Amino acid sequence: MVAAYDLAQVEASVATDDQRPWRVSLHGGHSREFSAHASSTLTELLETAVERGMVTYGITDHAPISDVRFLYPDEVAAGLDLDSRFAQFEAYAQASRDAVDAFAGRIEVLRGFEAEVLPAASYVADMRRLREQHSFDYAVGSVHWVDETPIDLSAELFAELAARLGGIEALLVRYYASVAEMVERLRPEVVGHFDLPRLYSADHAAHDANAVRTAAEDALRVIAEVGSLVEVNTAGYRKGLGGPYPAPWMVERASELGIAFTFGDDSHHVDHVAANLERARAYLLAYGVRNISTLTREAGAVVRAEVAL
Q: How far is the CB of 31 from Zn ion (least distance, A)?
A: 10
Task: Determine the Cα–Cα distance for residues 89 and 130; give it in Å rounded to an integer.
Answer: 9
Q: How far is the CB of 269 from Zn ion (least distance, A)?
A: 11
Query: How many of the chain's residues bind Zn ion (CB under 5 A)?
Result: 3
142 part of the interface to Zn ion, by CB under 5 A: yes
Nearer to Zn ion, 155 or 305 (CB): 155
Q: How far is the CB of 235 from Zn ion (least distance, A)?
A: 8
| Nearest-CB residue for Zn ion | 142
Of 22-30, 118-126, 235-243, 299-307, the window that binds Zn ion (rule: CB under 5 A) is 22-30
Nearer to Zn ion, 10 or 186 (CB): 186
Of 28-36, 66-74, 157-165, 171-179, the window that binds Zn ion (rule: CB under 5 A) is 28-36
Nearer to Zn ion, 118 or 285 (CB): 118
**CB distance 243 to 276 below 8 Å:** no
Q: How far is the CB of 256 from Zn ion (least distance, A)?
A: 26
**CB distance 104 to 98 below 8 Å:** no
Nearer to Zn ion, 11 or 33 (CB): 33
Q: How far is the CB of 294 from Zn ion (least distance, A)?
A: 19
One character per residue 152-191, x = contact with Zn ion (rule: CB under 5 A) = ----------------------------------------
Q: What angle do helix axes 155-165 and 168-186 make, rounded to 10 degrees?
A: 100
Nearer to Zn ion, 10 or 75 (CB): 75
Q: How far is the CB of 213 from Zn ion (least distance, A)?
A: 23
Nearer to Zn ion, 10 or 196 (CB): 196
Nearer to Zn ion, 188 or 192 (CB): 192
Q: Strand 56-62 and strand 24-25: pairing?
A: parallel
Q: How far is the CB of 19 from Zn ion (least distance, A)?
A: 27
30 part of the interface to Zn ion, by CB under 5 A: yes
One character per residue 190-219, x = contact with Zn ion (rule: CB under 5 A) = --x---------------------------
**DSSP string of the chain, one letter each residue:** ---SS-HHHHHHH---SS--TT-EESS----TTT-TT--S-HHHHHHHHHHTT-SEEEEEEEPPPSSGGG--HHHHHTT--HHHHHHHHHHHHHHHHHHHHHTTTT-EEEEEEEE---STTTHHHHHHHHHHHTT-SEEEE---EETTEESSS-HHHHHHHHHHHTSHHHHHHHHHHHHHHHHHHH--SEE--TTGGGGGTTT-GGGGSHHHHHHHHHHHHHHHHHTPEEEEETHHHHTTSSSPBSPHHHHHHHHHTT--EEEE---SSGGGTTTTHHHHHHHHHHTT--EEEEEEEETTEEEEEEEE-
Nearer to Zn ion, 20 or 30 (CB): 30
Side chain identity, residue 161? L
60 part of the interface to Zn ion, by CB under 5 A: no
Q: Which residues bind Zn ion (CB under 5 A)?
A: 30, 142, 192
